[in-house]
Structure 1
Amino acid sequence: MNYKMLLGLALGLGMMGATAAQAQDAKAGESFFKRACAACHTVEAGKNRVGPSLAGVVGRKAGSVDGFAYSPALKGSGLEWNDENLDKYIADPKGTVPGNKMAYAGAKNEADRKNLIAYLNSVK
């Protein structure tokens, strides 16, 4: 086997590993969601709790779930929930949107946030 074939095989195996790691991240994110978020949020569309449903949150404008009473701060924030804004908000909700009413202090662990965002990207 020549070096080009070996390189191709190694790259192919690496890509398979990356796919498995991404799936594993979403699974870890689901576990984190259950521990840190599920008391107030659900990922069931149209079902709000103390916090709004997070079904389809990625790509949605902040403060836009029908039937949920958002704080004026979040409703007027102008944020769109993309990976970057979710990461900032999950890390420090009060610092990212001062005056919002979410009681959660924030997830300081970057891996937990990234895993949670991978999970939120998977729920529609």
Structure 2
Amino acid sequence: MFQRRRLPLIAVGWLLLGPLAGPRPVLAGDADAGRDVFRSECSECHSIRAGRNKKGPSLAGIVGRHAGALPDYRYSDALERADWTWTPDKLQWYLSQPAKQANPGTKMKYDGLDDAEQRDDLIRFLGTVH
């Protein structure tokens, strides 16, 4: 079944106005350190290659993507019903707690990442993966 992909308002504005809308938001953190966090925290279940899903969906292009929007991955009903976009702030919130607390009914088994700096680094890295 085809799912409509929704873009966050800031992304739509940037796409329509390009440079007139100003620069894209800058993400905090260190992308190189974030790659290491990804390897230790996420890579068992997620790929960063577009179109390559593992237990979890590919995280390529996750920053700015609507939750549950990859057409080639079978999400839990809970994530398909989640009406949010994976912004840096939403990723911070989601990753700071157990996944089952952030999105009750999710299939994701993750206890969360307590270290805010590591979350910043991870989100910065994910923002570079397309």
TM-score, normalising length from structure 1?
0.79
Aligned residue pairs, count: 103
Please state if 1:98 is matched with 2:104: yes
Question: Offset of 1:66 from its aligned partner?
Answer: 1.6
Alpha-carbon distance in 1 for matches of 2:51, 2:127: 17
Alpha-carbon distance in 2 for matches of 1:52, 1:24: 23
Structure number with greater CO (CA < 8 Å, separation at least 6) is 2
Query: What 5-or-longer segments of structure 2 have no aligned partner?
Result: 1-26
For residue 60 of structure 1, the aligned residue among 65, 70, 93 is 65
Question: Offset of 1:26 from its aligned partner?
Answer: 0.5
RMSD: 1.5
Percent of counterpart pairs with the same letter?
Answer: 41
SS in 2 for 1:63: coil
Question: Offset of 1:67 from its aligned partner?
Answer: 1.6
Question: Which residue of the partner structure matches residue 3 of structure 1?
Answer: none
Query: What 5-or-longer segments of structure 1 have no aligned partner?
Result: 1-21
Question: Offset of 1:79 from its aligned partner?
Answer: 1.2
SS in 2 for 1:122: coil
Please state if 1:80 is matched with 2:85: yes
> Which structure shows the higher helix fraction?
1
TM-score, normalising length from structure 2?
0.75
Please state if 1:44 is matched with 2:61: no
User: Residue deviations 1:62-82, cap 9 Å, x none?
Assistant: 001122111111110101000
Question: Offset of 1:23 from its aligned partner?
Answer: 9.4
Question: Offset of 1:90 from its aligned partner?
Answer: 1.1
* Displacement over 2 Å in runs of 4+: none
Question: Offset of 1:32 from its aligned partner?
Answer: 0.5
Return the letter of the residue paired with 2:67.
A
